[in-house]
Amino acid sequence: MQQNRSQVTERDGLFELEAGSDVLDSPRYNHDMAPTKVRERTWNKWHITALWVGMSICVPTYTLGGVLTAYFGLTVGEALLAILFANVIVLIPLTLNAFPGTKYGIPFPVLLRSSFGILGSNVPCLIRALVACGWFGIQTMFGGLAIHLFLGSVFEGWKSLGGTGEVIGFMIFWALNLWVVIRGAESIKWLETLSAPLLVAVGIGLLVWAMPNVSMTELLAIPAKRPEGASVVSYFAAGLTAMVGFWATLSLNIPDFSRYAKSQKDQILGQIFGLPLTMFLFASLGVIMTAASVKLVGVTVSDPVSLIGHIQSPVWVAVAMALIIIATLSTNTAANIVSPTNDFQNIAPKVINRTKAVLLTGFVGLLLMGHELLKKLGLIVSDVSLETVYSNWLLGYSSLLGPIAGIMVVDYFLIKKQQLDLAGLYRDDVYPAWNWAGFVAFGVPVVLTLLSLGSDAFSWFYSYGWFTGSALGGIIYYGLCVMRAQPSVVKSAV
């Protein structure tokens, strides 16, 4: 017989929900959004390390050094240092926001119900989802190009398709991504675990190929593309903010993965082992490969897919492209589909299940890449490049997501004291429908960021957007919660 009231039990610091009719019949609950059972939390530190290796080794990471030198006016050495520092910094919100996911087994949208309200959580969720759908489209474009080049190396006639072949490759890769995520978290875990060593092997192979054709001394001595005599501080800080923005998305929705971790120790060590060094080394590889590309293939090529496409041996192109496809698939499924899948379900969990949410994510990503796909088909002519969009996006969206990260950390650790009403997060009678403290704390930094765009005196607020936004959002949220005397501890069982 089904119990009426939900029960919460604790095992070794991990909380588990035995859902009763009060939760099962709630419009805020479905099976996919439910807290994971302790027996389902099977990811150890090496699975989480593999997750980060799989997500970090991707085409955008490879091009980060070029983005920082070309768009942010840094030298190669400064660019690599900014990437390393940024990924050490971003570990802080990543590990902190992972805590409630591991403890309670809840995904990102459910956690947001505590700080933004049961219904209000949909606003930051949809902001996060839109960014993820955009990245999904960008990564799918790279994966589609790899499939096109792979088929061109196997079937000679395929090359003549040109842009049409790339669009076909895009659609094949698009469908493959959706299939993996629809199969569930375990398929993602095993994809990341199997792909991580292959991706490391690809990086080593590219490095061996490139090193005889590049001088590191000359590379590090290339002058920065900034005004002569300009202070490095402002340029470095802007680049640092952009690099933090690279994983600003995951620093929010890391509970989507940490809810499967065996323990807090596993999620912390897995992230420390997997993220900073992988990002630094693969970005460094991108800098070296781009510098060596002139001698290797005769022209400067800044992305690995196009560079490998210049190799004359069809066999090596086919092998390399197969590995690039795996690399992009492992990044895209975890980093860009899981979050919007959960975010879209949060709108109406009884109506939108995981399969529907995955398909919705796919179609939004397809729509956002429509302009680029039409260009490749020759149906429109445009000077807007994918690289420009993505380099400008890094800084802009980090300014929007920073406040959300600050609010989440302050709410869980300082306001709720790491105690959540687990069943109450899935009902309408414990947390408010709209938590206006969260919206004010989010809105003020965003408005100031937009105003700073038109002011030279306050341009620094935008340039350092993630730092200013997360700090100000957290401070305002804490102040508002204290002023209205919100209870600091909510019982963890109902």
Q: Per-residue pLDDT for 237 more than 90?
A: no
Using pLDDT thresholds of 50, 70 and 90, give the confidence band for residue 2: low
Which superfamily is assigned to 42-378 in CATH? Answer: Hydantoin permease (1.10.4160.10)
- How far apart (Å, rounded) are the C-alpha atoms in residues 19 and 37? 11
Phi-psi category of 484—alpha, beta or left, where left has phi over 0 and alpha has psi -120 to 50? alpha
The pLDDT score that the predictor gives to residue 397 is 67
* Tokens coding 370: 């429509």
What's at 246, amino acid-wise? F
- DSSP class of residue 491 equals -
Q: Which of 335-339, 372-376, 407-411, 451-455 has the highest mean pLDDT?
A: 407-411
C-beta separation of 352 from 360 below 8 A: yes
Tell me the pLDDT band of 354, cut-offs 50, 70 and 90. very high
Burial degree of 190 (CB within 10 A; 0-12, 13-18, 19+)? middle
Higher confidence at residue 145 or residue 111?
A: 111
Tokens representing residue 428 in the block: 């309408």
Cα 93 from Cα 407, distance rounded (Å): 11
Q: Kindly give the interhelix angle for 436-452 and 386-410, rounded to the nearest 10 degrees.
A: 140
C-beta of residue 158 within 8 angstroms of C-beta of residue 371: no
Is the pLDDT confidence value at 150 over 70?
A: yes
The DSSP annotation for 166-217 comes to HHHHHHHHHHHHHHHHHT-HHHHHHHHHHHHHHHHHHHHHHHHHHGGG--HH
Helices (H), ranges, 333-452: 338-347, 354-368, 370-376, 386-410, 436-452
pLDDT given at position 433 = 96
- What's the pTM value of the predicted model, to 2 decimals? 0.86
% of the chain residues with pLDDT over 90: 45
Q: How far is CA 3 from the centre of its chain?
A: 39
Q: Which two tokens stand for residue 32?
A: 């996919």
Distances (CA, A) of 120 to 19, 167, 254, 430: 23, 38, 20, 14
Poorest-pLDDT segment among 90-104, 380-394, 410-424, 429-443: 380-394
Helix (H) or strand (E) holding 66: helix 64-71
Is residue 304 predicted with pLDDT exceeding 80?
Answer: no
Return the CA Rg of the chain.
Answer: 23
Q: What CA–CA distance (Å, rounded) separates 340 from 324?
A: 24
- Please enumerate in sequence order all residues whose Cβ is within 8 A of that of 73, keeping only pairs 6 or more positions apart, or say none: 224, 225, 226, 230, 235
pLDDT for res 421: 96
Span 305-327, pLDDT tens digits: 777 777 777 887 787 788 788 87
Q: For residues 171-178, give the mean pLDDT.
A: 95
pLDDT top residue among 4 and 476 = 476
Can you tell me the distance from the alpha carbon of 251 to that of 245, in angstroms, rounded to the nearest whole number? Answer: 9
Average pLDDT taken over every residue of the chain: 86
How far is the C-alpha of 18 from the C-alpha of 230, rounded, in Å?
61
Tokens 């341009």 -> residue: 459
Distance in angstroms (rounded) separating the CA atoms of residues 117 and 430: 10
Nearest of 200, 192, 390 to residue 277 by alpha carbon? 200
Supply the pLDDT for residue 390: 57
Residue 391: name the closest of 242, 184, 232 by CA. Answer: 242
Residue 109 token pair: 């949208």
| pLDDT value of position 392 | 61
Q: Which DSSP letter does residue 17 get?
A: E
Angle between helices 122-154 and 314-332 (to 10 degrees): 170
Residue 452 is encoded by which pair of tokens?
A: 């700073």
- CA dist 392 and 378 (Å) reads 25
Lowest-pLDDT range of 159-163, 196-200, 278-282: 196-200
- Residue 285 confidence (pLDDT) above 70: yes
Work out the pLDDT band at 435, boundaries 50, 70, 90: very high
pLDDT at 3: 65
In angstroms, how far apart are the furthest CA atoms of the chain? 77
492 pLDDT above the threshold of 70: no
- For 423, the token pair is 């069943």
Write the CA distances from 439 to 118, 346, 465, 466, integer angstroms: 13, 18, 18, 17
Whether the CB-CB separation of 408 and 112 falls below 8 Å is answered with yes
Among 24-33, 272-281, 368-377, 391-400, which is the least confidently predicted range? Answer: 391-400
Please give the residue that has the higher pLDDT: either 475 or 299.
Answer: 475
**Confidence at residue 384, expressed as pLDDT on a 0 to 100 scale:** 64
Query: What band does 106 get if pLDDT is binned at 50, 70 and 90?
Result: very high
Tokens linked to 451: 């105003």
**48, 257 contact by CB (below 8 A):** yes
299/394: higher pLDDT: 299
The Cβ of residue 369 has, within 10 Å, a number of other Cβ atoms equal to 23
Beta-carbon contacts of residue 453 (< 8 Å; ≥ 6 apart): 459, 462
